[in-house]
């Protein structure tokens, strides 16, 4: 729990491995992908109602692709987890769903408020993704998963680049 709070406070994509004393490479991969898949699935879930209520064509356009990307990431990690022998999947907490989904689905909250919430997660982008970058760098055996994670990471950088762009556009009132 302390590691999770620290990661949340430090805003990182993953709080680190929890489980066996001497985890194998596969143990570390499975734990990471279980946690990450749950977040990706959640992202795809809360972005959908946001698209429906956004008054901005520009925001809707970019969010449609970001939402689809998160859905693909979640689906592909679930597929890979199954191939690695997993049959059950971690989900984000009900508390998180209850607070975040209504916020992003709200027609009263502005796109700028919602984008503000997201861009501040990425204040230090490389540090935010450091747990994933490090995992990719340490994988020696499971090259398929390694390259799945590397290409997902590249997608995430593209997503954050667009968040920062559209946040600036929203802040200046040009969209
Ligand atoms: Fe993603």
Distance 77 CA to ligand 1 centre (A): 10
pLDDT digits (tens, 9 = 90+) for 46-90: 999 999 999 999 999 999 999 999 999 999 999 999 999 999 999
Distance 147 CA to ligand 1 centre (A): 14
Distance 69 CA to ligand 1 centre (A): 6
Structure confidence at residue 38 (pLDDT): 98
Q: Band of the pLDDT at 9, cuts 50, 70, 90? A: low
Among 11-15, 76-80, 151-155, which stretch is predicted with the lowest mean pLDDT? 11-15
Evaluate if residue 5 carries a pLDDT over 70: no
3-state SS record for the chain:
CHHHHHHHHHCCCCCCCCCCCCCCHHHHHHHHHHHHHHHHHHHHHHHHHHHHHCCCHHHHHHHHHHHHHHHHHHHHHHHHHHHCCCCCCCCCCHHHHHHHHHHHHCCCCCHHHHHHHHHHHHCCHHHHHHHHHHHHHHCCCCHHHHHHHHHHHHHHHHHHHHHHHHHHHHHHCCC
For residues 34 and 91, give the distance between their C-alpha atoms in angstroms, rounded to a whole number: 8
CB of 119 within 8 A of CB of 164? yes
Evaluate if residue 152 carries a pLDDT over 70: yes
Distance 51 CA to ligand 1 centre (A): 17
Distance 128 CA to ligand 1 centre (A): 13
Q: Band of the pLDDT at 1, cuts 50, 70, 90? A: very low
Among 54-63, 69-78, 118-127, 128-137, which stretch is predicted with the lowest mean pLDDT? 118-127
Q: 88 to each of 78, 152, 158, how far by Cα in Å?
A: 10, 22, 30
Q: What integer is the mean pLDDT of 160-173?
A: 97
Report field, pTM of the whole predicted structure over 0.95: no
Structure confidence at residue 123 (pLDDT): 84
For 21, other C-beta atoms within 10 Å of its C-beta total: 4
Distance 159 CA to ligand 1 centre (A): 8
Directed axis angle between helix 25-53 and helix 94-105, to 10°? 30
Distance 94 CA to ligand 1 centre (A): 20
For residues 83 and 148, give the distance between their C-alpha atoms in angstroms, rounded to a whole number: 13
The whole-chain average pLDDT of the chain stands at 94
pLDDT digits (tens, 9 = 90+) for 37-46: 999 999 999 9
Distance 157 CA to ligand 1 centre (A): 9
Distance 71 CA to ligand 1 centre (A): 8
């Amino acid at each position: 729990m302390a590691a999770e709070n620290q990661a949340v406070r430090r805003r990182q994509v993953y709080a680190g491995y929890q489980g066996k004393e001497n985890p194998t490479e596969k143990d570390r991969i499975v734990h990471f992908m279980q946690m990450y898949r749950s977040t990706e699935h959640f992202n795809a879930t809360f972005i959908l109602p946001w698209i429906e209520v956004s008054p901005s064509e520009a925001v809707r356009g970019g969010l449609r692709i970001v939402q689809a990307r998160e859905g693909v990431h979640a689906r592909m990690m679930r597929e890979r987890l199954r191939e690695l022998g997993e049959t059950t999947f971690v989900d984000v907490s009900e508390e998180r769903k209850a607070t975040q989904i209504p916020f992003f689905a709200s027609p009263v909250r502005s796109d700028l408020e919602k984008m503000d919430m997201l861009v501040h997660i990425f204040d230090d982008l490389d540090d935010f993704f450091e747990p994933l970058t490090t995992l990719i760098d340490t994988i020696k055996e499971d090259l398929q998963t390694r390259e799945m994670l590397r290409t997902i990471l590249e997608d995430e950088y593209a997503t954050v680049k667009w968040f920062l762009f559209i946040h600036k556009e929203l802040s200046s009132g040009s969209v």
